[in-house]
Structure 1
Amino acid sequence: MKKLLVLLLFLVPAMAPATASADAGLAPDLGRAAALIGEAAKWEVENKRVPSVAVAIVGPEGVRWSGTWGKADAEGKVPATPETIYRAGSVSKLFTDVAVMRLVEQGKLNLDAPVSTYLPSFKPRNPFGGQITLRQLMTHRSGLVREAPRGNYFDIAPKGQADSVLSLNETSLVAAPGTITKYSNAGIAVVGEVVARVTGMPYEQAVSTLVFRPLGMASSGMTAAPFQGRIAYSEMAAFDGPRIPAPPIELGTPAAGSLFTTLGDLGRFAQAMLNRGKLPDGVLLKPATLDEMWRRQFPGDASTRGYGIGFALSQIDGQRVVGHGGAIYGHVTDVLIMPDSGIAVVAFATVDSSNSAGKLADYALRTVAAIAKGANPPAFGTGTLVTGPDAKRLSGWFTNGKASVSTRIYNEHLVIDAPELVGDIRRTANGFIVEDAQTRYDKLAIADDGSWIDLAGTRYTRGTMPEPPQPAADFAALVGNYGWDHNVIRIYERDGRPFAWVEWVDHMPLTRVDANRYAFPKQGGLYPLEALTFERNAKGAVTALSLSGIRFPRRDFGAEIEAKVRSDMQTGGAALRAEALKASPPKEIRPKPSDLVALTSVDPTIRLDIRYAGTNNFLGTPVYESSAAFLQRPAAEALGRVNQALRKRGFGLLIHDAYRPWFVTKMFWDASPPSSRMFVADPSQGSRHNRGAAVDLTMFELKTGKPIVTTGRYDEFSTRSYSNFVGGTDHQRWLREVLRSAIEAEGFDVYPEEWWHFDYGDWRDYPIGNQTFEELGKKAK
């Protein structure tokens, strides 16, 4: 079977030349900045496989320069341009907040009046007392949950923002109004409904009237419909999953995150901010109003970051910066405005939760500001993946006695798996960082001899992972996936603690409240102070979890995909076999002759469970006429040594598949409809199994004879099959690593997306084979 998850990895199209505006007429200082930003953008697209990125430099006079890199369509044929539409996510909040402040200037709203003054039906449960105000909502100090029960970030069929806000009456505040900063999309949806109620218009019409039209943002809106055909292609990504096209989900809380826009349009907004609200033919906001929006609303917070009214406040190179970032299903945006220097930057990227937009925006702003002052521009942070002998030397398991960090080779480069940090390790001029499409973390140090790893001052020392205990039964019952194809909550164990993976990127520890309720931390992550409540059926089986009223059904994605594949497969195995046997494999010349031997002849204690000789496989029908396993002699002998080494640890090898005749690969292909051929190998290329140096296997316990249970099933079509899957239990991952370390010690390499599949080092040197097991058996005799 071809590797499902590899074929789901979308190839990055060839790099398009940067599309830039008015390059020839740029002032020398801006031209120098543009060239540096262009090199940085190209690095991001090429090294992180971002379909496209876009950057604009804005001054009081408007967009001074803009550039785009990469492709705007799924096929990689259409270059991104400054007119490409991007989803701006939470940058939408700034437009909602500006609309509110225009109404404040008109005397129609009071930031400090109870919001119930404008929305009498808004009545979430409040065990703390006190009233929620617009000011608190706009600064994320309301105490509301992050998402509304209906119309939330996960909801594919919202009924509208009014219904989303109404559903908040089913929730309870998690903190007293005004006491803590807790980011809430639901809170800004309430603000949007206040705008709608006071103006007497639907929210989308109101924000267009109050903000888009005055700014001349003709290519912006809160719904996708007007922009079909112009919206940039984008992808979802995960550390231990495939790249897939981002779903075109529109939120039921448009005030919080539904903005569609372009570089030019978002540049017009930044221009108005640099001009302190003045427009060419009027005024968007008064300077005093902007001063209030850019004032830290809760100065007791001593950090360098905080919130004004809507705007996130920070400093870059000693200068104040206001703006906002946004992320929504494959699109990431950052707007940074340096009002005292008259510079702003807009950046877009098209991988979910990508760091590219923020990284490029920060670099562009610092570069332009430095060159304008005659200073040297900053260096753009890059790094190279750690591969080869360095990767092998630095891979291992490290502990500080309480928590652990693993570094392992995935797709031929070194990656890290720490409690709340996963990603690619890169070497820089100054040491190491963790950086890939979604993660950038620079508080990393690694001893050159691989004896320790340091994360933010916490030292982890190399060791051998001991066999972990099985988790408590009540928690073990919760481990698994919940949600939908487009968004999943994964519950797993790490270092003996319960963890949750949320919204593709957030790995957070949980605290047990009782057998069916686990709380997120009080600080950090996406859902502080919130909790997960698990549902069980009459028999006690866990069927779903609830996140603050949002129900995530329990899922077995592998079983669901397998069922679909089976239903799509053509029947008539005998006819398929007959046709495949008539065909001939591709002709090729390889340096090593085939010397296939039966594994059981090398080591009789190796057990066989040849799935394709029975019905327990993804086809649900036998494709081999007998149960046997053959490998090229050096690979078979190496596997015999692996088996003997594992027996000393109480395990034996259990073989599911090894050499596979080419005609079987053709049967798989012919049986699969085009929509399912991502799951099987293309016979015109042959497969690794056809060459006799690939093996699918697991372990069994010598004491009980039972196969081990690890993170996923053999041949499972899900991310649980990934060799770096962050999930399951500590014990399941320990078993996976015991198998991997033993077999890699004898010259095999794990197939990245299948924990059970290992290729012998020189597999490419062997020819494609097409002999049946029966023919090989006769030859051996």
Structure 2
Amino acid sequence: MSITKRLVAGVGALLVAGTLAAPAQAAVPDRRALQDSLDAVHQAGMYGLYSAVSDGRDTWKGAAGVADVRNRRPVKPHMVHRVGSITKTFTAVAVLQQVERGKVDLDAPVSRYLPDLISDDDITVRMLLNHTSHLADYIPGAFPSLLEGSLADLDNHRFRRIEPEELVRLGLAFPRTGEPGATPGSYSNTNYVLAGLVLEKVTGMDAERYITHHVIKKAGLRHTSFPRSPQIPGPSSGAYESFYGLFDPPRDYAVYDMSWLTTAGAVVSTMDDLNRFYRRLLQGELLGGAQLAEMQRTVPVYVGAGPIEYGLGIYALDLPCGRFWGHDGAVWGMLTQSLSSPDGTRQISVGLNRAKYQTFDENGMPVPHEIDLAFGNHLLLALCGPAQARTLSTPITPFPADGLQVKP
């Protein structure tokens, strides 16, 4: 398989587990079992990871592996992590707050708010938030060397500052992936950069500042922010990018200007903060009931190997013990998964410091990695209990909405 095809194949091609069992109350796993399952992910090849599990008032935090492959500094459960597309949930909450205040109409055309960027009236705010706009992702335009079979732009653009409007224009320069409103939708970071610009238009505030004051602080998150510099604020890990074996050894991208993702993926957080955020969201503390219900109206959205059930900045993932809500995220070198039961009581958030560790076969299909199986076991153990985890023989879908799709 050529280097260009491997690059264009994208980040989110994953295997989905088989037929789901009926929802059942999970047995609470013991702490030793949780730590053992986390250690197994590290032993399978993940450099380092940290996990926070919650079951009502019972909580557990653990870490395994190293934060720095050179000096073997260990990872810690409280480390600050780039959470990538989990940012989209924060952005969607902010936009829905403006819907509650009557300043944004979900079914109004985006051109009402941003006439200088979007001239057509066929794309609505709702289509941005549920990825049915079919606007192409700007990622290939922001890192054009990827489509030329080169990874050079990942280094060349490490300290580049790029404005949201430019990101949108890069996305608009590519052909649409379908008719606006058609399902399945097509996951695109362009949608959430536009959503941030709509937020700026109706509030008169910088979008990242608005989200910080009205979502992050409202949720009581103390270690969550949009970084003001390329460094991750607070104790953190390296971010090791393998890019399907094209970086050997993997390259550290922990220091990076994240203006290339902004309201689509620039947030940093801790695993504790993520659990707190989704718990307060699902328990109605950040949005009223009507807007939370809108958020959980899902449509099929195509990402990687197949569609997922995507709402407005949040998706539903069905596991053997029932349905869970949340999001995942990816940036160069870091992965994150956060899932919560519908009532926000049973939760897991996990951060990993090595990305795109899989390889592809001669037909361009992803080769299952032991990391995926071990990670799926940790998720199932935390959310569904030891009985379900013991039955896992196929990698579960750990990062279904991984947003770094590289498309031609």
Matched, 1:347 2:354: no
Residue type at the aligned position of 2:284: G
Residue in structure 1 matched with residue 123 of structure 2 by the alignment: 132
Deviation at 1:316, TM superposition (A): 0.8
Structure 1 unaligned blocks of 5 or more: 1-28, 279-283, 382-429, 434-439, 443-505, 507-524, 532-781
Residue in structure 1 matched with residue 80 of structure 2 by the alignment: 85
Matched, 1:526 2:405: yes
Residue in structure 1 matched with residue 333 of structure 2 by the alignment: 330
Does the aligned pair in 2 maintain the 1:347–1:357 contact within 8 Å? no
Deviation at 1:332, TM superposition (A): 0.3
Does the aligned pair in 2 maintain the 1:273–1:339 contact within 8 Å? no
Residue in structure 2 matched with residue 46 of structure 1 by the alignment: 43
Does the aligned pair in 1 maintain the 2:87–2:266 contact within 8 Å? yes
CA distance in 1, matches of 2:344, 2:139: 39
Seen in structure 2, the aligned counterparts of structure 1 residues 47 and 76 have a Cα distance that, compared at 3 Å, is: farther
Name the structure with the higher strand share.
1
Seen in structure 2, the aligned counterparts of structure 1 residues 202 and 192 have a Cα distance that, compared at 3 Å, is: same
Does the aligned pair in 1 maintain the 2:83–2:268 contact within 8 Å? yes
Does the aligned pair in 2 maintain the 1:150–1:252 contact within 8 Å? no
Q: How does 1:178-577 map to 2 (within 5 A)?
A: 178-180=181-183, 181-223=185-227, 225=229, 227-228=232-233, 230-237=235-242, 238-239=244-245, 241-247=247-253, 248-249=255-256, 250-274=258-282, 276-278=283-285, 284-297=286-299, 305-317=308-320, 319-340=322-343, 342-353=345-356, 362-371=376-385, 376-379=387-390, 526=405, 531=408
After TM superposition, the structure 1 stretch with the greater mean CA deviation from structure 2, 222-231 or 254-263, is: 222-231
Q: 1:142 aligns with which of 113, 121, 133?
A: 133
CA distance in 2, matches of 1:204, 1:341: 25
SS in 1 for 2:323: strand
Does the aligned pair in 2 maintain the 1:152–1:251 contact within 8 Å? no
CA distance in 2, matches of 1:304, 1:135: 18
Q: 1:115 aligns with which of 110, 121, 127?
A: 110
SS in 1 for 2:44: helix
SS in 1 for 2:137: coil
Does the aligned pair in 2 maintain the 1:111–1:135 contact within 8 Å? yes
SS in 1 for 2:327: strand
After TM superposition, the structure 1 stretch with the greater mean CA deviation from structure 2, 184-193 or 158-167, is: 158-167
CA distance in 1, matches of 2:370, 2:140: 31
Matched, 1:160 2:157: no
Deviation at 1:243, TM superposition (A): 2.1
Q: How does 1:13-24 map to 2 (within 5 A)?
A: none
After TM superposition, the structure 1 stretch with the greater mean CA deviation from structure 2, 102-111 or 333-342, is: 333-342
SS in 2 for 1:215: coil
Q: How does 1:682-701 map to 2 (within 5 A)?
A: none
Q: How does 1:714-725 map to 2 (within 5 A)?
A: none
Deviation at 1:291, TM superposition (A): 2.2
SS in 2 for 1:64: strand
Seen in structure 2, the aligned counterparts of structure 1 residues 66 and 342 have a Cα distance that, compared at 3 Å, is: same
Seen in structure 2, the aligned counterparts of structure 1 residues 145 and 307 have a Cα distance that, compared at 3 Å, is: same
Q: 1:66 aligns with which of 61, 69, 88?
A: 61
Does the aligned pair in 2 maintain the 1:331–1:348 contact within 8 Å? yes
Deviation at 1:245, TM superposition (A): 2.7
Q: Deviations for 1:289-339, whole angstroms, at most 9, x for unmatched residues?
A: 22221122469xxx9831111112221115112111111111000011111
Seen in structure 2, the aligned counterparts of structure 1 residues 328 and 368 have a Cα distance that, compared at 3 Å, is: closer
CA distance in 2, matches of 1:173, 1:254: 22
CA distance in 1, matches of 2:94, 2:310: 17
RMSD (Å) for aligned C-alpha atoms: 3.2
SS in 2 for 1:112: coil
Does the aligned pair in 2 maintain the 1:152–1:253 contact within 8 Å? no
Deviation at 1:43, TM superposition (A): 1.4
Residue type at the aligned position of 1:306: E
Seen in structure 2, the aligned counterparts of structure 1 residues 368 and 43 have a Cα distance that, compared at 3 Å, is: closer
Structure 2 unaligned blocks of 5 or more: 1-26, 145-153, 358-368
SS in 2 for 1:332: strand
Residue in structure 2 matched with residue 472 of structure 1 by the alignment: none
SS in 2 for 1:289: helix
Residue type at the aligned position of 2:197: E
SS in 1 for 2:60: strand
SS in 1 for 2:350: strand
Seen in structure 2, the aligned counterparts of structure 1 residues 114 and 342 have a Cα distance that, compared at 3 Å, is: same
Seen in structure 2, the aligned counterparts of structure 1 residues 323 and 87 have a Cα distance that, compared at 3 Å, is: same
Q: Deviations for 1:372-422, whole angstroms, at most 9, x for unmatched residues?
A: xxx8342285xxxxxxxxxxxxxxxxxxxxxxxxxxxxxxxxxxxxxxxxx
Q: Deviations for 1:547-595, whole angstroms, at most 9, x for unmatched residues?
A: xxxxxxxxxxxxxxxxxxxxxxxxxxxxxxxxxxxxxxxxxxxxxxxxx
CA distance in 2, matches of 1:142, 1:195: 17
SS in 1 for 2:83: strand
Does the aligned pair in 1 maintain the 2:278–2:344 contact within 8 Å? no
TM-score with structure 1 setting the length: 0.41
SS in 2 for 1:347: strand
Does the aligned pair in 2 maintain the 1:344–1:365 contact within 8 Å? no
Does the aligned pair in 1 maintain the 2:41–2:371 contact within 8 Å? no
Deviation at 1:58, TM superposition (A): 2.4
Q: Deviations for 1:435-468, whole angstroms, at most 9, x for unmatched residues?
A: xxxxx599xxxxxxxxxxxxxxxxxxxxxxxxxx
Deviation at 1:343, TM superposition (A): 0.9
Q: How does 1:718-733 map to 2 (within 5 A)?
A: none
Identity of aligned residues (%): 25
Residue in structure 2 matched with residue 55 of structure 1 by the alignment: 51
Deviation at 1:136, TM superposition (A): 0.7
CA distance in 1, matches of 2:55, 2:314: 19
CA distance in 2, matches of 1:267, 1:159: 31
Residue in structure 1 matched with residue 18 of structure 2 by the alignment: none
Q: Deviations for 1:623-674, whole angstroms, at most 9, x for unmatched residues?
A: xxxxxxxxxxxxxxxxxxxxxxxxxxxxxxxxxxxxxxxxxxxxxxxxxxxx
CA distance in 1, matches of 2:204, 2:114: 13
Deviation at 1:120, TM superposition (A): 1.2
Residue type at the aligned position of 2:281: M
Residue type at the aligned position of 1:285: L
SS in 2 for 1:214: coil
Residue in structure 2 matched with residue 445 of structure 1 by the alignment: none
TM-score with structure 2 setting the length: 0.75
Report which structure shows greater RCO (CA 8 Å, sep ≥6).
2
Does the aligned pair in 2 maintain the 1:68–1:82 contact within 8 Å? yes
SS in 1 for 2:186: coil
Deviation at 1:273, TM superposition (A): 3.3
Does the aligned pair in 2 maintain the 1:93–1:256 contact within 8 Å? yes
CA distance in 2, matches of 1:60, 1:162: 42
CA distance in 2, matches of 1:159, 1:320: 38
SS in 2 for 1:305: strand
Does the aligned pair in 2 maintain the 1:296–1:308 contact within 8 Å? yes
Q: How does 1:729-744 map to 2 (within 5 A)?
A: none
Deviation at 1:37, TM superposition (A): 2.1
Seen in structure 2, the aligned counterparts of structure 1 residues 285 and 360 have a Cα distance that, compared at 3 Å, is: farther
CA distance in 1, matches of 2:396, 2:322: 23
